[in-house]
Amino acid sequence: MSVSAPEGRRSGLTRNIAAKIATLPMILTALVVFLGGTIWTVVYSFTSSKLLPKLAFVGFDQYERLWGTERWIVSVKNLMIYGVCMLILSLVIGFILAALMDQKIRFENTFRTIYLYPFALSFIVTGLVWQWILNPEYGVQNVVRSLGWTSFNFDPLYNQDIVIFGILIAAVWQGTGLIMCIMLAGLRGIDEDIWKAARVDGIPMWKTYVFIVIPMMRPVFITALVLIGSAIVKVYDLVVAQTGGGPGIASEVPAKYVYQNMFYAQNLGQGFAASTMMLIPVIILVVPWAYLEFSGRRRHG
Amino acid sequence: MADVLNSTAMIAIEDAPAGRKPRRAVSRRNVVVYGLLLLAAFYYILPLYVMIVTSLKGMPEIRLGNIFSPPVEITFEPWVKAWAQACTGLNCDGLSRGFWNSVLITVPSVLVSIVVASVNGYALANWRFKGSDAFFTILIVGAFIPYQVMLYPMVIILRTIGIYGTLTGLIVVHTVFGMPILTLLFRNYFTSLPEELFKAARVDGAGFWGIYFHIMLPMAIPIMVVAMILQVTGIWNDFLFGVVFTKPDYYPMTVQLNNIVNSVQGVKEYNVNMAATILTGAVPLAVYFLSGRYFVRGIAAGAVKG
Amino acid sequence: MNSSVNIKNLSLDFGAVNVLKSLDLDIRDGEFLVLLGSSGCGKSTLLNCIAGLLEPTEGQIFIKGRNVTWEEPKDRGIGMVFQSYALYPQMTVEKNLSFGLRIAKMPQAEIDKRVARAAEILQIQPLLKRKPSELSGGQRQRVAIGRALVRDVDVFLFDEPLSNLDAKLRAELRVELKRLHQSLKNTMIYVTHDQIEALTLADRIAIMKNGLIQQLDNPDTIYNTPKNLFVAGFIGSPSMNFLRGKLVANEGALAVETHGVRFGLGGYRAGREMNPGQEVVLGVRPEHIRVNEDVRAGDEVHEAVVDIEEPMGADNLLWLKHAGHTLSVRVNGARRFKPGTKVKLAFDMGLASLFDAASEERI
């Protein structure tokens, strides 16, 4: 590039001026809300803000308190159990369903409609339905007992030890349809000839899936992984609706801890510190992916 | 399980050249495939069934029977009660208030967010300028940042402008947080259109807005529908922003539903709760069942939803 | 003749890649100039720069003597036709044609007049109310040309306009384009990778490679006296035969020695000095090799063996083995040769080309 702009060339700022004005909302959102807001929260997590944010720095005090609070520890543990299970179940169920749907079956649209409709429902609705189904007095437990198995016990929402799995059942119900859809799109994107070649070579179907198809679907899996991952960290509404964090604090999650401290307990510093902690897994997971996906892609004339 | 699939499939293939018998429609492989699909379908359909059945029963029947059995005596009383009489706090005018609030929130939020995002996407696809890609990358990464991180700064921003707690404020919030996915959707769509179309319009003398309104917008109808579906369901289903950014008077349906069902006062009326739950889910479900193909396409296109 | 489009010292970089390298080009008024090259040579980039759709990194572009380097495409007095037609799908043919005029807020009466005239020239009057999706490829491209026509521009730019059409239609539209140029007498700049289009349409051809113009001449000159090895190999199908060798003194004259065989250069009109010992490449087109009864008295005769023949109707293409070379020779389609038969051959040195092996420039 020449250093001095040639005669007649519009200067840097006014070039493409309409596009710049038109995307002002995007620029403001990106810089002020997303970047600015995140930095703001991280900075204020090192302050002693209580009712109102104030810049009185206290170092890592908020984080020390955070990790000394049982409610937070429980939240993180819950999130990890929920996260690992959700990730594995979503990927496995989503892929198996997609693979089954890809067997040139009849009523494909009907099946897809059935698997996907929960995704259209809110977490509040999801949580409330499953709260009702898992209600020990009237729900599954009661039904099984009334069939004669009187010692049958299934009350996840009232049992501190397994309450998180009760939430998991609802989350899987709501979210796997989406993963199935993405996986199915990925499977459909695979060249028909691969299957023909594998058949001609006499490779068993499961081996074709495991060694040929799944490696070819890497981008699809990565997308699914990112989707599931970022949804896991955000889990909030579902818990509020299904258990309200209970019994006791047994099903608390980080997002709820943040909300609690920011808007109820008037303990802003704690809320900021907790939300900053939530940021870390997302950065580890998403930034490298976004960098690969969205930078360096240029259109040539 | 895959093993079963495989062995049966291989048998079928090995059988074929011998030509002893034509393949039956009910092969072992089909039994396994359809069996598993039906089993899964059962799990997915069950809650919807239970919701409907429960909402049509009277409370005495619920207390005696089991939740899976169909109603002996169908009653629509719970629906009426959920819509018009259910209580949240001191208000006992039912979910209808939340419904209209949600309509009031959803309609303008959907329109504003789509207008803004379609212009963004168009600019990013066709009028790149220095830094435009950087802003976009921040936007996309931002889509994965937990809302909790940006919640309080957003409260401060809205309070500073003076629209915190208002409907306008909530519309802004939905536009801002819906922007990444929608912008991505529109950018990818406009990028997929032939670039020569854009060039031809420039040679014809159309500028930024001329090309947007005359050329791009008429071609963007399919993606508009996809975006609309995505936003209607997304905004209607929102809970967190509704709680944080509005006053109780403006609480959307989801928030009101949760308050009704999870209120600790009074006797639990499960049939009313389920009717209320169905009512809240009705709008996105209707969108889903009516749009079918577009819904799936929207999800596939915007598979990076945050 | 006046200059219509004048390009001075034009460079364009995409990041670290120099797509155009200090390119100069002067296009005459009313000329049909073809930019020819394989993909990635910069020909489309150059056209987009002229159109104002890409901004050059350095250099200037003048149209009709006016510096338009930083002007908007619409202000340059150009019309452009694209490979994918680029018709606005939601508009009828009529609206497609008039879009630019409506944007320019031209009076409706004038718009109607111009649309009618363009439709008449291109014979698309019956199509005016149709949508592009209801047209065939050839019709679409006609409308695309019409869109440039109505704007009454000085310079037409064509970006591979026929590449999306099938072979038969391509040939038809080629003729029509030529007729159009003859009647309109506008300057036309035409980008293609198809040498047939270039040879048939162009007043002059600019052959491009790596962002540089290799040769700018009329089709005859380009075909018969290519300036360098690249141009020689690019133009012509099948490609020119190349024999790599060394110049040697031979009975008072010079000859090319290759694989122990000598080809005398009698009849070759050298443009530069030749020295014995120089490494050279001798190029002979398939139709400039005489076989058997075509060999004339006084020709330097060599012997070869027929390897393969490819009958193509009007022509018959022979692949001959000769002293370590494979030569392609075009003969009349009626003449047939069995593989393995021995033939006599002679080069038409008057029409051959000789290149320096190191610089690849014509000698």
Q: Per residue in C170-185, pLDDT tens?
A: 998 999 999 999 998 8
> Do C135 and C40 share a structural domain?
yes
pLDDT given at position B71: 87
* Bond preceding residue B78 cis, omega within 30 of 0: no
> Do C245 and C216 share a structural domain?
no
Kindly tell me if the per-residue pLDDT of C210 is higher than 80: yes
With a cut of 50, which residues of chain A have pLDDT below it?
A: 1-6, 297-301
> Tens of pLDDT along B126-159?
998 888 888 988 888 888 888 889 999 999 999 9
Kindly tell me if the per-residue pLDDT of C88 is higher than 80: yes
Q: Which of these three, C179, C203, C227, is where a domain ends?
A: C227
Kindly tell me if the per-residue pLDDT of C309 is higher than 60: yes
pLDDT given at position A301: 30
Please report how the helices B270-291 and A108-120 are oriented relative to each other, as an axis angle in degrees rounded to 10.
130
> Do C331 and C214 share a structural domain?
no
Q: How many residues does chain B have?
A: 306
pLDDT > 70 in chain B, percent: 89
Instruction: Kindly state the average pLDDT of the residues C208-218.
Output: 93
- Separation of alpha carbons B196 and B199, rounded Å: 5
- Is residue C235 one of the residues assigned to a domain? no
Q: Which of these three, C182, C199, C227, is where a domain ends?
A: C227
pLDDT given at position C330: 93
> Do C350 and C310 share a structural domain?
yes
The ipTM of this complex is 0.85
> Tens of pLDDT along C272-305?
888 888 899 999 999 999 998 888 888 888 889 9
> Do C249 and C221 share a structural domain?
no
With a cut of 70, which residues of chain B have pLDDT below it?
A: 1-26, 298-306
pLDDT given at position A294: 60
Count how many domains chain C has. Answer: 2
> Do C221 and C247 share a structural domain?
no
Give chains near C: 3+ CB pairs under 8 A.
Answer: A, B
> Do C223 and C140 share a structural domain?
yes
* Bond preceding residue B22 cis, omega within 30 of 0: no
> Tens of pLDDT along B185-217?
899 889 989 999 999 999 999 999 999 999 999
Q: Map tokens 């379908």 to a residue.
A: B41
> Do C339 and C295 share a structural domain?
yes
CA distances from C106 to C98, C100, C110 (A): 10, 9, 7
To the nearest whole angstrom, how far is the Cα of C128 from the nearest Cα of chain B? 18
CATH of the domain at C27: 3.40.50.300
Put simply, whether the predicted model's pTM sits higher than 0.90 gets the answer: no
Q: Put the strands of the sheet holding C315-322 in their side by side order.
A: C289-291, C342-347, C302-311, C315-322, C325-332
Residues of chain B contacting C15 with CB distance shorter than 8 Å: none
> Do C222 and C200 share a structural domain?
yes
pLDDT given at position B300: 63
Antiparallel, parallel or unpaired: β C78-81 and C155-159: parallel
- C286: containing domain: 241-356
Instruction: Kindly state the average pLDDT of the residues C243-270.
Output: 86
pLDDT given at position B278: 93
- Is residue C252 one of the residues assigned to a domain? yes
CA distances from B149 to A44, A74, A240, B153 (A): 11, 20, 19, 8
Q: Put the strands of the sheet holding C17-28 in their side by side order.
A: C17-28, C3-14, C58-63, C66-67
Contact C67 A8 (CB under 8 A): yes
The domains located in chain B, with CATH, are 2-84 (no CATH), 96-301 (1.10.3720.10)
- Is residue C117 one of the residues assigned to a domain? yes
pLDDT given at position B1: 32
Using CA coordinates, name the residue in chain B closest to A209.
Answer: B2
CATH of the domain at C246: 2.40.50.140
Chain B contact present for C53, CB below 8 A: yes
- Separation of alpha carbons B236 and C15, rounded Å: 45
- Is residue C236 one of the residues assigned to a domain? no
pLDDT given at position A3: 40
> Do C223 and C82 share a structural domain?
yes
pLDDT given at position A248: 86
- Separation of alpha carbons B37 and C170, rounded Å: 53
The domains located in chain A, with CATH, are 1-44 (no CATH), 62-294 (1.10.3720.10)
Burial class of C18 by CB neighbour count within 10 A (0 to 12, 13 to 18, 19+): middle
Interface of C with A in 54-73 (CB under 8 A): 54-55, 57-58, 60, 67, 69-70
- Separation of alpha carbons A111 and C292, rounded Å: 75
Give yes or no for a contact between C83 and C160, defined as CB atoms under 8 angstroms apart: yes
Contact B142 A34 (CB under 8 A): yes
pLDDT band for position C237 (cuts 50, 70, 90): confident
Residues of chain A contacting C45 with CB distance shorter than 8 Å: 301
Give yes or no for a contact between B155 and B245, defined as CB atoms under 8 angstroms apart: yes
- Is residue C361 one of the residues assigned to a domain? no
- Is residue C69 one of the residues assigned to a domain? yes
Residues of chain C contacting B201 with CB distance shorter than 8 Å: 88, 99
> Do C69 and C189 share a structural domain?
yes
Contact C57 A10 (CB under 8 A): no
SS (H, E, C) chain C: CCEEEEEEEEEEEECCEEEEEEEEEEEECCCEEEEECCCCCCHHHHHHHHHCCCCCCEEEEEECCEECCCCCHHHHCEEEECCCCCCCCCCCHHHHHHHHHHHCCCCHHHHHHHHHHHHHHHCCHHHCCCCHHHCCHHHHHHHHHHHHHHCCCCEEEEECCCCCCCHHHHHHHHHHHHHHHHHHCCEEEEEECCHHHHHHHCCEEEEEECCEEEEEECHHHHHHCCCEHHHHHHCCCCCCEEEEEEEEEECCEEEEEECCEEEECCCCCCCCCCCCCCEEEEEECHHHEEEHHHCCCCCCCEEEEEEEEEECCCEEEEEEEECCEEEEEEEECCCCCCCCCEEEEEECHHHCEEEECCCCEEC
- What is the pLDDT of chain C when averaged over all its residues? 90
> Do C220 and C272 share a structural domain?
no
- Is residue C308 one of the residues assigned to a domain? yes
Interface of A with B in 15-44 (CB under 8 A): 15-16, 18-20, 22-23, 25-27, 29-38, 40-41, 44
- Is residue C232 one of the residues assigned to a domain? no
> Positive or negative, the Cα torsion across B282, B286, B288, B289?
positive
- Separation of alpha carbons B250 and C92, rounded Å: 47
To the nearest whole angstrom, how far is the Cα of B41 from the nearest Cα of chain A? 6
To the nearest whole angstrom, how far is the Cα of C15 from the nearest Cα of chain A? 9
